[in-house]
Structures are given as structure tokens and as C-alpha cells.
Amino acid sequence: MNSSDLPRYTAFILPSVRAVEALGGSAKSSEIREHVVEGVDDADRLLTVTRPNRPDVPVLIERIDWGRSYAKLIGALETPSRGLYLLTALGKELLAAPVADAENRVLELDREYRRTRPTRTRSGTEATAVPSEDDAVAAAAGADLEEAGEIGGADWVEVLLSRLHRLTPTGFEEFALFLLRRYGLELRRVGGSGDEGIDGIGTAPLSPVLSSRVAVQVKRYDPDGRPIGRDVVALFQRDAQAKGAERAILVTLGRFTDAARKAATTFTPTVDLIDGTRIAELVLDQEVGVRMAPKVDENWFDRFD
């Protein structure tokens, strides 16, 4: 068997999009690669095929990575930050279509992209122009908040939380997992019957050589509704412990009572509580779905008058 016997990269474009959906709507490169490999028939044998000049890199992995890259280039995935992928509207459209139709559409989009991609002249200049990608787009699960003007005071926080609350429960769950991945967590989405209230499970990096197993629960509660009490936190701790988690994260748009906060640090596993205010801080820190606009402090220049 040699490289010509393996599927082309185009065979892995749609599986890469499916992988991101299965992983919760956002995923890291390594997570996508691992998920796609699991779906390849006879993967162990195919992984033995390498190139003479790159004996340490299986051709299968190379083509899966190309498939993921082309999923982005044709617009089915986007990368709001390096190595982290999100589904786009086109990606969701492909997943909703019959398999044969989706595969044909992917091939058409791939051909179109390769036909119009930049070509280089001998002088190194581009001979063909291609629309540039909007690297500033960093919204998850439809959180397409666009704040115009200055970000200041509490108004933008209220707008943000209101927009997130309008997401479906699944959409908010996907957004929360995406936001946590922005901070280095590697998460696998879980759910459905028998999930014991756990929405995500994975690892949180503690250092370059140490990580901790973490469980995540997401609750899209009304920001102005009744705060989450001790009983909810205690139940989550029990479920997280049953999953072998050493740490836990509870994300909500709402608030927590003092008793809930005490329980989160008194019993194990320790639960990091992320309420609406904290979500806003994390979103602003990552500039996810919000834009920071400069403001001129005219009085500052008085010192030079």
C-alpha cells in the first residue's frame, strides 16, 4: 500500500465539519483529527503509510489535516483563534443536507476555491485576487453580538447577556464550551439521557506537564431570574465526582447564592462558578463577539498645552 491508495483530502472535508459538530460546535485541531481518525475504516493499517521524505508523519494524518484546512477555506469552518475551529452557517447547512448532496456541494466549493485561489508570478506578487477572510469574527453558536461604539459602563454587559439568553439551550451550551476552549481546556461534549447533568468532560491544563480532569455543566438561566442555590451545586458535585472529575465548572447567565459559593469550595470536587458577570469578563478578555473601540481622553492632552 502507498499514498495513492489513500483517500484524497477532499474525502475528509465533510468529516471534519461533522467532527466539530459532534465535539460541541467548536474544537481544536487535535480533537478534530482524533475524531476523524476514529471514523476511518482500517485506520491502523492506513496510518502505517508515510512518505519517504516524511517518515514520521502518516499520509492519512496529513490528508485529514488538509481536509480540515480546506473546510475552513471553503467557508464551512472558521478559526476565531489559532487552532480552534467553529462551525459556520455554511457548515451547518452542509450537515443538514442529505449526505450525497453535501458531498457534491463540498466538491463544488473545493473546485471553486482552487480555481480562484491566489497564484504567484515569478516576481512573487499575486496574479489573482481572492476575498480575504474576516479573522475578527469570533462568535459562537449564533452569538453574533455587534457592539457599535464605545464599550463602557454596564450597558454592553446587559446587551451581551440578553443576546446569550436568546440562544437556544443547546446554542448556549456550545457557546460556553467554545469559550472554555479559548482558555486551553480540552473538552468532549456529552449529553442526553444518562449524562448525570454533565455537558462536557475533559482536561484543564495546570502546567505544561500537568492537567486535571474537569467536568462542565451549563445552565442558560435568566440573568435576572432566581439565583442558583446550594442544592444545584451539590448535585453537580456529586455527578462530577461520579465521572471521575477532579475539578468542575458551572456556567450560567444568572447568579449564585452565598450558600452555593460556599458549597463550591467546601466540598469536592471544587467547582469554579462562572456567572453572567464573569462570562462578560471572559468574553471581553477574548474579544469574542464584542469589539473594543478606542476612546480619546481629550483632557489627557492638557499637559502639553
Tens digits of pLDDT across the chain (305 residues): 778 889 999 999 999 999 999 998 899 888 999 999 999 998 989 999 888 877 778 899 999 999 999 999 999 999 887 778 999 999 999 999 999 999 999 999 999 988 887 554 444 444 433 333 222 222 222 222 232 223 334 467 888 888 999 999 999 999 999 999 999 999 998 865 445 589 999 999 888 889 999 999 999 998 888 899 999 999 999 999 999 999 999 999 999 999 999 999 998 899 999 999 899 889 988 888 887 767 788 887 776 66
What is the C-alpha separation between 162 and 222, in angstroms, rounded? Answer: 9
The CA distance from 22 to 14, in Å, is 12
At 291 the pLDDT is: 74
Q: Which three cell numbers stand for residue 79?
A: 478559526
Q: Alpha carbon 45 to chain centroid distance?
A: 31
| 67 neighbors 9 (Cβ within 8 angstroms) | yes
Under 8 Å between Cβ of 94 and 102: yes
CB 214, CB 249: distance < 8 Å: yes
Given a contact cutoff of 8 angstroms between Cβ atoms, the answer to whether 211 and 264 are in contact is no
C-alpha cell at 274: 462562572
Whole-number pLDDT of residue 303: 65
- Cell numbers placing 297: 481622553
Going from N- to C-terminal start, the domains of the chain cover 3-116, 155-286
190-192-197-198 Cα dihedral, nearest 10 degrees = 0
Report the CATH fold assignment for 155-286.
Answer: Trna Endonuclease; Chain: A, domain 1 (3.40.1350)
Q: pTM for the complete prediction?
A: 0.64
3-state secondary structure of 118: coil
> Under CATH, to which class is 3-116 assigned?
mainly alpha
